[in-house]
Structure 1
Amino acid sequence: MASKFDYLRKNLYAMAELCLEQILILDDAIEQENPDLAKQVIERDDLIDSLEKQNDNLSQNAILEAVANRNLLGMDQIDGEVVLKRDPLRFALSSIRINRSLERMGDQIVNCATCYRRGLLPKGFFRQEEILDKMLSRVVTLVGMAVESLVEEKNRFYGSVHTVEEELNNLCHAAFLKFVLDPRLDKNQFADLYRIILGIERAGDYAVNIAEELVRLNTGMDIRHLSDPVQVTEKTKAS
């Protein structure tokens, strides 16, 4: 059974690294105004979708096997603290949630690439507007933190993730307000820009979902609905 869980883990890592590569290629496409790079993002999405399907099947099979072998593994006789770290059932359940977040993150990145590749936005628009450049920078950072945390199997970035997410959300909101009535953009141009802003914000949300799931996997704490980031950070440090 260990080999099956190892295979699932490696598949999740591969999927996460593909998502990180996708956001980096999107950033390069916009920075270099290169529609071919945007096309590359769109074409590579099949790789993520394929891994998502594999991981979904692996996770479901792993859950069934973990339940059936729980007593054989001695999980019914181990201290609760150790169970959090070693319970294959917990890992399999978390894998389903992480797998879903990665696939949806990839979809949002592709949505951004699709809108950008249409070529309706004015030349140099992202380079000229500091708020858009910052927005791209923050989502790259956020996705990078989530992927690194996953691959290292650590939740130490959670406090930073929450801070960067808040900044990204504020930038996306400010960008919408700034450009919704911008005379330089017709309705079709603004529609594409808005879809890119929305896609970037949602990609960041899925990165945070992964970070939150890693906290639950490592500590057993469900922090999705805790409103105080300081409280969350202190609790995860203490765990």
Structure 2
Amino acid sequence: MDKLHLDQHISQQYNADLEDLRTELLEMGGMVEEQVRDAITAISNADGELAERVLVVEDEVDQREIALDEHCTLILARRQPAASDLRMVMAVSKITRDLERMGDEAQKVARMAIALVEDGSGSQGYVELRHLGNSVQTMVHQMLDAFARFDVETAMNVAKEDKQVDREYRSATRELMTYMMEDPRSISRVMNVMWALRSLERIGDHARNIAEHIIYLVKGLDVRHTSMKEIEKQLRERP
């Protein structure tokens, strides 16, 4: 496991500000993780009540994003951080945006769950939905764990898993397209499931983005738009 050596400052308040920033992000991340889990459960089990709760939580996630943005801005203005401190503030600012967007996608899944319940069809039997949902939930959990422990190895695992999620999404889409062609009466129901799958795939994309921000935070490497092979090469070369 990698360590992030944040500078220790004469000002205890500065140290506290940086630790509070980390804590606040993990709290927001925990909320989004629960939101994603509940949205997947809601659409898998045709649970309209749980889906409604996911929609309510979104407002609080948005408020957390605003509060964290303000906190980052205040630290930049008052402390003028450098080196690892600056990377921490910048990474938190970027991760916050991705977390909020993950919440938006969870909200879309919840809305699809409500539509399926109202249609009276539910989504039981869609193995693709459950399978992709499990993969995405694992990514989100590992991503938060990587940030909490400043763990580059776990962040790399999340980035690699995104490729698998993309493959699962494409495979599921093909299966459902075939199903709709065989039974045109299912088109409306299956389209809702496909939109939910698309949102899950995007949640995986945001988890990968956050994994890349964690690598930048710990190693100082900007690995956006970089292949996995090249990222691994850069990490081997960077102590």
Question: Structure 2: which 5+ residue stretches go unaligned?
Answer: 1-13
Q: Percent identity?
A: 21
In the alignment, which of 29, 34, 40 is matched to residue 21 of structure 1? Answer: 34
Change (3 A) 1:132 1:121: farther
Q: Give, in whole Å, the separation in 2 of the partners of 1:36 and 1:156.
A: 38
Question: Structure 1: which 5+ residue stretches go unaligned?
Answer: 76-82
In the TM superposition, residue 234 of structure 1 has moved relative to its aligned partner by 4.9
Q: Deviations over 1:13-58 (max 9, x none)?
A: 1001111111221232233321111111111111211110000111
> Counterpart amino acid of 1:222?
D
Q: Deviations over 1:87-135 (max 9, x none)?
A: 3222111111011011101110111111111123733x34x23322211
Change (3 A) 1:65 1:192: same
Q: How does the TM-score come out when normalised to structure 2?
A: 0.84
Q: How does the TM-score come out when normalised to structure 1?
A: 0.84
Q: Deviations over 1:167-186 (max 9, x none)?
A: 11111112222213512654
Q: Is the 8 A contact 1:212 1:222 kept in 2?
A: yes
| Within-5 A mapping of 1:1-239 | 1-67=14-80, 70=81, 83=83, 87-118=84-115, 119=117, 120=119, 122-123=121-122, 125-126=123-124, 128-181=125-178, 182=180, 183=183, 186-227=186-227, 229-236=228-235, 239=239
Q: Give, in whole Å, the separation in 1 of the partners of 2:94 and 2:205.
A: 13
Q: Is the 8 A contact 1:63 1:93 kept in 2?
A: no
In the TM superposition, residue 209 of structure 1 has moved relative to its aligned partner by 0.6
Q: Give, in whole Å, the separation in 1 of the partners of 2:151 and 2:184.
A: 45
More displaced 10-residue stretch of structure 1: 109-118 or 27-36: 27-36
Q: Give, in whole Å, the separation in 1 of the partners of 2:169 and 2:67.
A: 34
More displaced 10-residue stretch of structure 1: 134-143 or 187-196: 187-196
> Counterpart amino acid of 2:217?
L
Change (3 A) 1:185 1:112: farther
> Counterpart amino acid of 1:141?
T
Change (3 A) 1:185 1:26: farther
Q: Give, in whole Å, the separation in 2 of the partners of 1:236 and 1:2.
A: 28
Question: Secondary structure of the residue that 2:142 maps to in structure 1?
Answer: helix
Q: How many residues align?
A: 220
Question: Secondary structure of the residue that 1:221 maps to in structure 2?
Answer: coil
